[in-house]
Amino acid sequence: MSASRQNPSKAPNTPSGARGSNDLGRALHGWRDRISPAAVGLPAGGVRRSAGLRREELAQLASLSVDYITRLEQGRATSPSAPVLASLARALRLSSDERTYLYLLAGQPEPGPGHISCHVPPGLRRLLDQLRGAPLSVHDAAWNLLEWNPSWAALLGDPSALRGRERNIAWRQFTGRHGYARPTPEQRAGFEEAMVADLRATTARYPADQELRSLIKDLRQVSTRFSELWDSGIVGAYESASKTIDHPEVGPLALDCDVLIAPGSDLRVVAYTAAPGSEAAARLALLDVIGTQAMT
């Protein structure tokens, strides 16, 4: 479900003239109330005061603590950082105008040219919501995981509990957190080279992005392999490849991994597909049924 466009001068569900010292908290509460759990892939069980998200659900989606969400809405936390605002805007599915308004209320400058955007437009979210059976994920230009559909979580594991760098593909790769992927040595080497080449190109497009610079610096410190590749000066873009996913419930799946750039943005959509009629296609279909549950 996509967010409706709002006048950026006014928070949702906030009557005209009712603005006070806690505009940020009221806006967050209003945006939270309008999103149903089903729209973001969460179960709607239990008794609810409203049809919207609970605070703990928003906290899960935004990778923040419930206590911090509560303090924001109650006006006891009034200076959220830019990364926190980006996470909230993404979790609340804000439109561009609403995102601008959120930064304004928080007293933070909205990221401009030279900074990586993590805003996922409504049309791209609808793509994830409506396509079933094809594991899809969305990443920003630094390869931070932003969104995913249930099929992706079923194939590669639910990432909702991951925080910070644990959601960055390059960080996970070069620190040995490979998940279910079982590449050959040649595939691993090719993937790492392509990832470093892509990140180098990204640093040229976003010279003012400090989080990206920090990521590169830390990767060079923790990974000799990354440092060697970075020093080689390779530049390029990550392209499609074949991957084998060794799933603990359904076994190995030989899949094509395609990377698409979303029109009008620098977001990367990663799609896993199997050849029609193949054993991998049958196993993907089974995963779409069982989801993230363990079979007995």
Rounded CA separation 38/1 (Å):
9
Same domain? For 59 and 182 the reply is no
Same domain? For 250 and 149 the reply is yes
Domain boundary among 74, 106, 138: 106
Of 266, 263, 271, nearest to 115 by C-alpha is 266
Phi/psi zone of residue 120: left (φ > 0), alpha (ψ -120 to 50 degrees), beta? beta
Residue 1 included in any domain: no
Q: Rg of the chain's alpha carbons, rounded to an integer?
A: 20
Q: How many CA atoms lie within 13 A of 171 on its CB side?
A: 18
Report the domain count for the chain: 2
What pLDDT sits at residue 143? 95
Same domain? For 82 and 45 the reply is yes
What pLDDT sits at residue 17? 35
Rounded CA separation 175/12 (Å):
42
Of 187, 221, 220, 23, nearest to 106 by C-alpha is 23
Residue 46 included in any domain: yes
The enclosing domain of 37 has a CATH number of: 1.10.260.40
Same domain? For 177 and 274 the reply is yes
Same domain? For 135 and 198 the reply is yes
Intra-chain end-to-end CA distance of the chain, in Å: 34
Domain span including residue 185: 122-290
What pLDDT sits at residue 294? 62
Residue 114 included in any domain: no
Domain boundary among 106, 133, 150: 106
Residue 225 included in any domain: yes
Same domain? For 83 and 209 the reply is no
pLDDT profile of the chain (296 residues), mean per 10: 40 42 88 85 70 88 90 89 87 87 89 81 81 88 92 90 89 89 87 93 90 95 96 82 88 91 86 92 89 63
Residue 7 included in any domain: no
Residue 266 included in any domain: yes
Q: Are 244 and 231 a contacting pair, CB within 8 Å?
A: no
Same domain? For 249 and 161 the reply is yes
Residue 224 included in any domain: yes
Same domain? For 203 and 260 the reply is yes
> Per the structure block, which two tokens stand in for 165?
């760098």
Same domain? For 161 and 254 the reply is yes
What pLDDT sits at residue 155? 92
Same domain? For 153 and 279 the reply is yes
What pLDDT sits at residue 226? 97
Same domain? For 237 and 160 the reply is yes
Domain boundary among 81, 106, 131: 106
Same domain? For 56 and 192 the reply is no
Stated pTM of the model: 0.74
What pLDDT sits at residue 295? 54
Q: Are 288 and 154 a contacting pair, CB within 8 Å?
A: yes
Residue 279 included in any domain: yes
The enclosing domain of 142 has a CATH number of: 3.30.450.180
